[in-house]
A and B are shown apart, each in its own frame.
Chain A
Amino acid sequence: MKELTKAEETLLLAILRLKDNAYGVAIKQQIQKATGKSLPYGTLYFILEQLAKKGYVKRFTGESRPERGGRSRIYYTHTPEGIKALEHAYKMQQKIWNGYTELTWGEKTGR
């Protein structure tokens, strides 16, 4: 199993959330909403490519649309492996973060 990077993780989650409507503009907006950061399309598509290469997402080409100057939307959807990878990442995350609050409790109070 190939590990997910932080950016891949974020994108894969956005695709999961958008369900059938996961294409460039929507993903970008979703990420902006979730993280407050704007991702350039170049970076976005680069990460999507990586995900597709690892086999965590699949690509569909939609029908051509006038508001895109006659171009098609490219939709992404998750694969079962993608879900597995997310679950794995979530578990890892939990392990890593386990007991964080206790550890920092003293620091927060500034003692």
Chain B
Amino acid sequence: MERIHRADLGRENRKMRRTKPPKFAARILSLLSSSKKTGILGDTEEEYRMIRSEKGRFKADVWYVWQIFRPLPFFIRSTLYWSITMFKNYSKIFLRNMRRNKIYSLINIVGLAIGLTAVIFILLYVQHELSFDRFHENTGRIYRVIGQYVGSSGIRYSDNHPPALSPTLQDEYPEVVYSARLRRVKEKRLLSCQEKKFFEENIYYADPTVLKIFSITFIYGNPETALGDPYSIVISEEMMKKYFGNEDPIGKTIHYIYEKTIFKKKEFDLRVTGVVKNMPRNSILQFDFIVPFDLNKRFLPFDFESWGWYDSIETYVLLGKNALTEDFVKKIEGLFKSLVQGSNKVLDLQPLEDIKLYGLNNTGAIKNVRIFTILALITMFIASINFMNLSTARSSQRAKEIGMRKIVGAKKRDVVLQFMGESLLLSSISFVLSMIFIFLLLPTIHKFIEEEILIDVLFRFETLAAAAVIVLITGIFSGIYPAFFLSSYKPVSVVKGISNIGRVGHSKFIRKTLVVVQFSLSVILIICTLIMLKQFHFINERNLGFDREHIVFMEMYGNLEDKYEIVKNELLKNQNITAVTASHNIPNTGSFTIGHIDWEGRTTEEEKDIDCISVDFDYFEMLNIEFIDGRSFSKDISVDEKGESYIINERAVDYLGIKNPVGKWLALWGRKGQIIGIVKDFHYESLRNEITPLSFTLWRSFNNYLLIKIKPENRFQTIAEIKRICHELNPAYPFEFRFIDEAIDNQYRNDLRLSQLYKAFTVISIFIACMGLFGLAAFTAEQRTKEIGIRKVLGASLSGVIFLLSKNYIKWVILAIIIALPVAYFSMDHWLRNFAYRIALDVWIFIFAGIVALGIALLTVSYQTIKSATANPVDSLRYE
């Protein structure tokens, strides 16, 4: 009997299992009806079975699903209703608080916005710098060949190689897929097409393989053959529009005038064989014109198989996909030592995308990227600290609100979310404000970094995502402490009126720490700025060892070189022109190096080289360079005229180790000549570098620049006169000139920019820190209104009250200064090592910076302290 019953039950069970309601719906239902006590699930299933046996499966299923969705609209409506209600309440309270505390809100929002502006600007800049040359199809396999020299002034790198290097790399190393020589024309060249004539700058000589290595997109023409014929030219889209309008220019000719004063002027007709898209802005290769490298052979009387000739030819290689870069570098590093006698050059490779960032010899953008990033983070940090400080400080004002919320039923989580939400909202408002700042500041920024950040970068997904993340992090970072601090209030004590929570020990400690950190950073920035300004002042005022004022210089194009003597005589007729001369280069813009020199009384076997500058008569007289021995070049002595007299500086005497050098011989490029004079050392190069050994020659055909010294009076008329003479004698070329002192100052432009940047960031961060201090002072004064009132009633003096209120801030700021001093000292000591000639780190700078910081801090709090100290005690005490 029992067994049958069991079997029945089993059958029943099986049947039940078959007729279960839809699984998916049942799952949702079980999620919705949370409490297990209620029989909802069981009831629904039971009724499902009833309906199923009566009306069939489909209807039952529909009914079952309907059971789930029927309450849904109500559920959504009620959740939404309550969250909207709470949101309305939160935003109402938020706005009310903002309105009631206008100063605090302003400090918070503006401070954060300034910080965000700095960070976003840095983000844009860094992204711009990092994006250089990453768009090439072969990125990662393109390298620039660089050479490492160990010279008298340490290790130096160069990208300048003899023309024979590239073919050798291409032919003898299987790793190299393509190798190309690239030579940028340093001077401006005159290009013409019928009546259109322009001076052009971005002209490159290049092997045809450049088109394979770099991603250069052709609009017209065939990249396979475009640079095949030496008399061809590939132009950029922009240049096509400039010379030919919008029509296809293939097959037309551009007239190209080659001139370099050492050689005869040559002219070529080049056939346009290709038009390429303009290179993207974030590339170091800004081609306007590409001319086949082989054209050089038609006018340069040099041996192109030579390993000893250098003329700023860069070499780029594309390595194979499977080539191991390190192994390849090991193979080629000793190439020069084995091929060229006496060479100590070691070859290495530099990835194309690193060139912009690292450059050669530390000239890249990476330094700026790092400094900018640190400055932005500091500013952001100071702004966030303000936010945290002001929120916690004002928390006592909101204690009652939070107590009420908790009593009515808010959980800790709700309060945390409320305050996090407020802080996120504030940071979003700041973000919008900072966007406005950025749009307003963009032109200034462009001018400042001398590079154009495209505005569409701002709207790219990555940038916006990064900005959103920054806003989020700022919001959370600056809101997290206040949020947890405020939410931990005990409602009972708050409502009972024990509301001195704003001054609870640990929160006060944290606030103090934050203010100290803030001021330390500001003091560090003040010291850095002061030292930088002093160093630049020092450089500007330092006696360079020659006169650099009132000297006009220009490149000698066209007739100026041939008719140099006529030009000189013509110019000297003017009373306001005191001297005219010529030279190969201008101070601060470089010299050329002569290797394998020889001299009388040589005691060492070591190969030596020396920097050389070719000059004309009157050069030393014009620059007022002092002679310590011998004489200057003279027109009356025929040996001088032949270029077989040399002048060297003091350093060179030590370097070569010659005793009594005047009258001894020196051989430069194998040309023996007499040393006729020794000049006192002067700063031919930047003050960052030590003075190097120099030799001066009178090889007049090397001279590129015309130097004209004018009287300071009537400058404009004199220059107009120079212009007239140049036009008369050299009508084919426009008149362009500069002043030497300007050109020299240009050298320090990056430093100057850096010091300006420091100044800007210092002012900003001090400003933000002071805003924070101001807010805190206002808050404390408010808290102590009653105390001050009682003190005054009992007879406290005005100065006593002011001192009482400022005492704390003085303590904090002095602590901050003590922390800041060593940090600033070490970082500036490090920075000053960049300069060969530098100021000493004076104690006075540090003391001065400390006083400035203290003064600013006191001035900031003084408004509040004086205000509350002078308040009538009757007003402050009566309100109870």
- 4 further interface pairs, Cβ-Cβ under 8 Å (given A40-B71, A74-B42): A24-B42, A25-B47, A40-B67, A45-B40
Q: Is the CB of B49 within 8 A of A67?
A: yes
> B48-75, CB under 8 A of A: which get 1 and which 0?
0110000000000000000100110000
Within 8 A of B (CB), among A10-67: 23-25, 28, 40-42, 45, 49, 65-67
A45–B39 CA distance with the chains assembled, in angstroms: 8
27 A-B residue pairs with CB within 8 Å: A23-B39, A24-B43, A25-B46, A25-B47, A28-B47, A41-B33, A41-B40, A41-B67, A42-B33, A42-B71, A45-B38, A45-B40, A49-B38, A66-B13, A67-B16, A67-B49, A68-B42, A68-B43, A68-B46, A69-B16, A69-B20, A71-B39, A71-B41, A71-B42, A72-B42, A74-B37, A74-B38
Instruction: Select A25's contact among B33, B43, B67, beta carbons within 8 Å.
Output: B43
Instruction: Select A72's contact among B20, B39, B70, beta carbons within 8 Å.
Output: B39
Chain A residues, Cβ within 8 Å of B139? none
A65–B42 CA distance with the chains assembled, in angstroms: 9
Known: A41-B67, A66-B16. A73 touches B39 (CB 8 A): yes
Residue of A nearest to B53 (CB): A67
User: CB within 8 Å of A: which residues of B?
Assistant: 9, 12-13, 16, 20, 33, 37-47, 49-50, 67, 70-71
A28–B47 CA distance with the chains assembled, in angstroms: 10
Q: How far is the CB of A4 from chain B (nearest CB, A)?
A: 21
Instruction: Select B45's contact among A28, A40, A68, beta carbons within 8 Å.
Output: A68
Chain A residues, Cβ within 8 Å of B67? 40-41
Residue of B nearest to A45 (CB): B38
Chain A residues, Cβ within 8 Å of B43? 23-25, 28, 41, 68
Q: Is the CB of B45 within 8 A of A71?
A: yes
Known: A40-B71, A42-B71. A69 touches B45 (CB 8 A): yes
Q: How far is the CB of A24 from chain B (nearest CB, A)?
A: 3
A72–B33 CA distance with the chains assembled, in angstroms: 16
Q: How far is the CB of A69 from chain B (nearest CB, A)?
A: 5
User: CB within 8 Å of B: which residues of A?
Assistant: 23-25, 28, 40-42, 45, 49, 65-69, 71-74
Q: Is the CB of A74 within 8 A of B49?
A: no
Pick from A23, A71, A73 the residue with the most CB of B within 10 Å: A71
Please give me the 9 A-B residue pairs with the lowest Cβ-Cβ distance, nearest first. Answer: A24-B43, A71-B42, A68-B42, A74-B39, A66-B16, A45-B38, A41-B40, A69-B45, A24-B39
Chain B residues, Cβ within 8 Å of A41? 33, 38, 40, 43-44, 67
Chain B residues, Cβ within 8 Å of A74? 37-39, 42
Chain B residues, Cβ within 8 Å of A24? 39-40, 42-43, 46
Chain B residues, Cβ within 8 Å of A49? 38
A41–B45 CA distance with the chains assembled, in angstroms: 12
Chain B residues, Cβ within 8 Å of A45? 38-40
A79–B16 CA distance with the chains assembled, in angstroms: 35
A23–B43 CA distance with the chains assembled, in angstroms: 8
Known: A25-B47, A40-B67, A42-B33. A66 touches B12 (CB 8 A): yes
Q: How far is the CB of B480 from chain A (nearest CB, A)?
A: 39
Chain B residues, Cβ within 8 Å of A69? 16, 20, 41-42, 45
Residue of A nearest to B16 (CB): A66
Q: How far is the CB of B529 from chain A (nearest CB, A)?
A: 69
Q: Is the CB of A40 within 8 A of B70?
A: yes
A25–B71 CA distance with the chains assembled, in angstroms: 18
Pick from A23, A24, A41, A74 the residue with the most CB of B within 10 Å: A41
Chain A residues, Cβ within 8 Å of B33? 41-42
Q: Is the CB of A67 within 8 A of B46?
A: yes
Q: How far is the CB of B677 from chain A (nearest CB, A)?
A: 108
Chain A residues, Cβ within 8 Å of B46? 24-25, 65, 67-68, 73
Q: Is the CB of A67 within 8 A of B71?
A: no
Chain A residues, Cβ within 8 Å of B44? 41
Q: Is the CB of B39 within 8 A of A42?
A: no
A42–B73 CA distance with the chains assembled, in angstroms: 14
Q: How far is the CB of B62 from chain A (nearest CB, A)?
A: 15
A68–B71 CA distance with the chains assembled, in angstroms: 22
Q: How far is the CB of B403 from chain A (nearest CB, A)?
A: 30
Chain B residues, Cβ within 8 Å of A42? 33, 40, 71
Q: How far is the CB of A51 from chain B (nearest CB, A)?
A: 13
A69–B33 CA distance with the chains assembled, in angstroms: 16
Chain A residues, Cβ within 8 Å of B47? 25, 28
A68–B13 CA distance with the chains assembled, in angstroms: 11
A49–B42 CA distance with the chains assembled, in angstroms: 17
Q: How far is the CB of A66 from chain B (nearest CB, A)?
A: 4
Chain B residues, Cβ within 8 Å of A73? 39, 42, 46
Chain B residues, Cβ within 8 Å of A40? 67, 70-71
A67–B42 CA distance with the chains assembled, in angstroms: 8
Chain A residues, Cβ within 8 Å of B12? 66
Chain A residues, Cβ within 8 Å of B37? 74
Chain A residues, Cβ within 8 Å of B38? 41, 45, 49, 74
Chain A residues, Cβ within 8 Å of B16? 66-67, 69
A70–B846 CA distance with the chains assembled, in angstroms: 83
Q: How far is the CB of A79 from chain B (nearest CB, A)?
A: 18
Q: How far is the CB of B741 from chain A (nearest CB, A)?
A: 88
Pick from A49, A67, A71 the residue with the most CB of B within 10 Å: A67
Residue of A nearest to B39 (CB): A74
Chain A residues, Cβ within 8 Å of B41? 68-69, 71
Residue of B nearest to A43 (CB): B71
Chain B residues, Cβ within 8 Å of A66? 9, 12-13, 16
A71–B44 CA distance with the chains assembled, in angstroms: 11
Chain A residues, Cβ within 8 Å of B40? 24, 41-42, 45
A73–B209 CA distance with the chains assembled, in angstroms: 86
A69–B47 CA distance with the chains assembled, in angstroms: 12
Residue of A nearest to B70 (CB): A40
Residue of A nearest to B32 (CB): A42
A41–B41 CA distance with the chains assembled, in angstroms: 9
Residue of B nearest to A75 (CB): B39
Pick from B13, B46, B67, B70 the residue with the most CB of A within 10 Å: B46
Q: How far is the CB of A23 from chain B (nearest CB, A)?
A: 7
